[in-house]
Amino acid sequence: MPKRRSLRMLLFVAAAAVLVMSVRFGFADAWVDQYALPASSLSELAVVPPAIDAKSEPGPGPGPDAPQKPQAAVLSNRITEYHIAVSLDENSGTLQGEQIVTWKNPGRKLVSEMYLHLYPNAFSPGSTFLRESGGQLRGDKMKDGSYGGMELTALTTEEGETLLPRVHYAQPDDGNRTDRTLATFRLPEPVKPGESVTLRMKFTVQLPDVFARMGKTGNFVMAGQWFPKIPVYETAGTRGRSSEGWNLHQYHGDSEFYADFGIYSVRINVPDGYKVAATGFLTKTPAVTGGRKSFQFYADDVHDFAWSASPDFVYVEDSFSSPGIPGVRIKLYLDPLHQHLKDRYMHAAKSALAKLGQWYGEYPYSTLSVVIPPASGNGAGGMEYPTLVTGAAAQDDNPGYELERTLVHEIAHQYWYGLVASNEFEEAWLDEGFTSYTEDKLMSSIYGVLPNLPVEASYMTHPEPLNLSSWKFSSSDRYAENVYMRGKLVLSALERQVGDKTMSKIMRTYFQKHKFKHPSFQDFQKVVETVTKEKWDDFFRAYVQKGEMADFSVEAIQTRRTDNGYESIVLLRRSGGSPEPVSVWLQFQDGHSMRKIWDGVQTHVQLKLESASPLLYAAIDPGNHIVLDNRKINNYLKAEVPPQQRTRYTAGIAQIIEGLFGALAW
């Protein structure tokens, strides 16, 4: 018996040693380790690990502080694992934080150089972001002197070796030496393929007055891109890469973000009385000590973590499920001015999730939080983060459809930004264009509000390639026009050519095939070609790579009398875009009309017509089917008019004017 007890004790010690070593080396697939590192791993701001007890009693009912438990399913490659503790000083507008981050090398080469995005430094004097944006973004202006920034105060290895003296800043895009949004340092030992490195950091963030998705106004805080963040290490084949390496860019005036999927365990300490909305969900009931309140949040298979806090939030919650939406707690954090609009917000959120689940696939998370900033926090409005979105700021108590439009747009981002996770530095249209296209679908399906595509196409006066890096567009306006508007017009044009049913299959297939994968536009093109069983090189070359618009026109009409009546020659031209069939309407003086289809393959073609009555006019694409044709003025031409009096008219001008007034009514 004593020998058996000794053997059991040895086995127990061995098992415990294996468990400790697995935690140390960051084996994040173990369910328990997904929550948090041991409390002793952090100092006074330590992330306290939530209790994990499958037999524990149910927690409190639905409410802002009701905890949840994670599911065991692993959905992504989980390259990073963050354990963060942050404390808000509401008086100075600063964040004091520390984190333990583990990064796994997904490639086949040794990695010796590490990088960190220090995004809050975009709000420091001389940054590339401020130089390019001029301190303005989306109609919002940064207040004079309201600077922000991040200071990395400690950086050590797991063994305690300091790396802070090795840190220097990198400016790979523009060489701006005053920009400090990207930092690099050399590791003491390289990270082997498939192995991990764990780093400890302390940092301080000075929040600016709310601007460009981040900051503080009054007692409202929006913390987006607020912690030191590891960039994406792309393996060979990712987005067409021939060799593996870091994808490195600064924070630019028009660019958004790109990161790897991972696990986040985040403790947020705020004054008692504050409500906190955050990515993921609470894992334990918040603790109150000394007038402060600590929230423990957890999220997995996400590529970012954001949070917002205010004592003024009006909280509303409801549960929702539908096909593709297995069960989601929808959590509204409303500005008091909009508390009477809770039903509109909840209806929009539920309806958007239901449609997205039906059209594209399952929403895999258990929460969706909606934050409505105050009027003074407009710069925090209309932004997407994993499982958390911000609506338009509460600037009046009776908003029009912009309330719903903004919210469904941001919820659609949960699929294209959150789950597919394109590179927003280099191919922003794969997020914004796809989301704008989906936004139109949602507004049409839920509210009957239809887009006016001919009017929107007419706004496109400076088309540029969609696969440009965000900061390489000629201006912020051109970036917005192309990435948001022309991006969605390209998808609408594709839909017109393949039909609604096939387009739905394309979008669903693309989402299902590339969720959690960081695809490129070439990946989307391959899906289009697989579904349609056709080649689409001309289409993607013209509209994505070259930045063209379509231009189908009636170039000239010659009519002469013959022995049998009249002969007319109509010259049709395609001056831009890719080949596609287009309708031609021919109207004769005696009331007779004729419709022909031109395949659009050649750049120009002549139609020879013989008729008993003279040709009155010719119109190409009279039904405005060619979505990307932004020069409708040359689609119509009258015959037999002296050259000096020849006038071109816009086809369907009445519909366009009506649509313009309709757009103003949105």
pLDDT in tens, 477-490: 999 999 999 999 99
What is the percent of the chain with per-residue pLDDT over 90, rounded to a whole number?
83
625 assigned to a ligand binding site:
no
Tell which residue, 535, 345, 506, has the closest CA to residue 434.
Answer: 506
Domain range for 503 is: 436-546
Residue 646 lies in a domain: yes
Q: Has residue 86 been placed in a domain?
A: yes
Q: Are residues 462 and 585 in the same domain?
A: no
Catalytic, 459? Answer no
State whether 194 and 306 are in the same domain: yes
Domain holding 161: CATH number? 2.60.40.1730
310, 326, 356 - which closes a domain: 310
Choose the catalytic residue: 410, 424, 439, 548. Answer: 410
Distance CA 295, CA 64 (A): 11
Last residue within a domain, chosen from 518, 546, 574:
546
Instruction: Name the active-site residue from 35, 82, 115, 484.
Output: 484
pLDDT for residue 62: 62
Reduce the DSSP state of residue 255 to 3 states and report it.
coil
Tell me whether residue 419 is in a domain.
Answer: no
Co-location of 214 and 292 in the same domain: yes
480 and 600 belong to one structural domain: no
pTM: 0.87
Residues 121 and 191 in one domain: yes
| Residues 274, 130 within the same domain | yes
Q: How many CB atoms lie within 10 A of CB 582?
A: 20
Range name among 55-64, 373-382, 559-568 with the lowest pLDDT average: 55-64
Identify the residue with better confidence: 614 or 68: 614
Residue 462 labelled as part of a binding site:
no
Question: Do residues 80 and 190 both lie within one domain?
Answer: yes
Q: Tell whether the model's pLDDT for residue 24 goes beyond 50.
A: no
- How many structural domains comprise the chain? 3
What's the confidence (pLDDT) of residue 56? Answer: 30
Across the range 651-660, mean pLDDT stands at: 44
Q: Residue 536 half-sphere exposure, CB side, CA atoms within 13 Å?
A: 26
Question: Is residue 468 located within the same domain as residue 562?
Answer: no
Average pLDDT (348-370) is 98
Q: How far is CA 441 from CA 180, 434, 533, in A?
A: 40, 11, 25
SS3 content of the chain, % helix, strand, coil (to 5): 30, 30, 40
Is 54 domain-assigned?
no
Rounded CA-CA distance 524/124 in Å is 38
Q: How confident is the model at residue 226 (pLDDT cuts 50, 70, 90)?
A: very high
pLDDT of 28 above 80:
no
Question: What is the C-alpha separation between 173 and 128, in angstroms, rounded?
Answer: 10
Domain holding 482: CATH number?
A: 1.10.390.10
Q: Which residues contact 358 (CB under 8 A, 6 or more apart)?
A: 322, 323, 324
Residues 123 and 185 in one domain: yes
Domain assignment present for residue 399? The answer is no
- Assess whether pLDDT exceeds 90 at residue 201: yes
What pLDDT is attached to residue 85?
98
Mean pLDDT of 22-34: 33
Helix (H, G, I), strand (E, B) or coil at 380: helix
Q: 83 in a domain, yes or no?
A: yes
Res 663 pLDDT > 50: no
Mean pLDDT score, 358-383: 97
CATH number at residue 628: 2.60.40
DSSP, collapsed to helix, strand or coil, labels residue 234 as strand
Q: What is the pLDDT of residues 172-196, one digit of tens each?
A: 999 999 999 999 999 999 999 999 9
Average pLDDT over the chain, rounded to an integer: 89
Per-residue pLDDT reduced to its tens digit, 566-594: 999 999 999 999 999 999 999 999 999 99
Whether 474 is covered by a domain: the verdict is: yes
My answer on whether 514 and 573 are in the same domain is no
98 is catalytic: no
338 carries a ligand binding annotation:
no
Arithmetic mean of pLDDT, 466-475: 96
Alpha helices (runs of H) in 360-464, residue ranges in sequence order:
402-413, 429-447, 453-458
- Cα–Cα dist 210/377, whole Å: 6
Task: Give me the percent of the chain exceeding a pLDDT of 70.
Answer: 87
Question: Of 477, 512, 546, which residue constitutes the final position of a domain?
Answer: 546
Name the pLDDT band for 34 (thresholds 50, 70, 90). very low
User: CA-CA distance, 494 to 524, in Å (whole number)?
Assistant: 12
Please check whether residue 300 is in contact with residue 277, taking contact to mean a CB–CB distance below 8 angstroms: no
Q: Is the domain of 265 the same as that of 139?
A: yes
Question: Are 244 and 280 found together in one domain?
Answer: yes
Query: Would you say residue 664 lies in a domain?
Result: no
